[in-house]
């Protein structure tokens, strides 16, 4: 794989909201883990981000089958009513054998799941309320 191909793959993943990808060929393996850049925006009222987060909640980062319980352990990934931290995994999207973490966008209290375990969801589908 050339440097140009890797750069195109990185750009494509970033544009598609994919945070991690692994490519394997005979004699070659590449794993990319992208971190989103976070722009700091000054906020005058400290309560505004909580209200915005509560209305926005946790949304699907892509297309897949939403899993409340981890497919390999059978245990719940996050319990409603639990306090979660920004960046914490609160569910997974399954696409075939691949799993993609559903991440809390901010600190808050996780509400009840808005879709059932095993539901097929699209990009941006609301999955949890976050208060």
DSSP H stretches of helix in the chain: 3-16, 48-56
Chain segment 82-126, per-residue pLDDT in tens: 999 999 999 999 988 888 999 999 999 999 999 999 999 988 899
Does the pLDDT at position 50 exceed 50? Answer: no
Which residue did the predictor score with more confidence, 50 or 22?
A: 22
- Give the separation between CA 36 and CA 50, rounded to whole angstroms: 21
Distances (CA, A) of 71 to 45, 49, 100, 109: 41, 33, 12, 24
Half-sphere exposure in the Cβ direction for 109 (13 Å, CA): 4
Both tokens assigned to 80: 């409603």
Question: Structural domain boundaries of the chain?
Answer: 1-37, 44-130
Is the separation of the CB atoms in 61 and 16 below 8 Å? no
Interval 5-19 mean pLDDT: 75
CATH number of 44-130: 2.40.50.100
Does the pLDDT at position 38 exceed 60? Answer: no
∠ CA 126-127-128, nearest 5°, is: 105
């Amino acid at each position: 794989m050339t440097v140009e191909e890797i750069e195109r793959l990185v750009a494509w993943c970033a544009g598609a909201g994919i945070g991690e990808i692994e490519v394997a060929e005979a004699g070659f393996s590449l794993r990319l883990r992208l971190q989103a850049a976070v722009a700091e925006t000054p906020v005058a009222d400290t309560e505004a981000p909580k209200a915005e987060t509560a209305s926005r909640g946790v949304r699907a980062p892509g297309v897949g089958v939403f899993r409340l319980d981890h497919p390999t352990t059978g245990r719940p990934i996050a319990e409603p009513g639990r306090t979660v931290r920004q960046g914490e995994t609160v569910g997974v999207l399954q696409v075939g054998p691949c799993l993609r973490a559903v991440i809390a966008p901010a600190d808050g209290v996780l509400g009840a799941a808005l879709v059932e375990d095993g539901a097929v969801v699209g990009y941006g589908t609301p999955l949890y309320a976050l208060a």
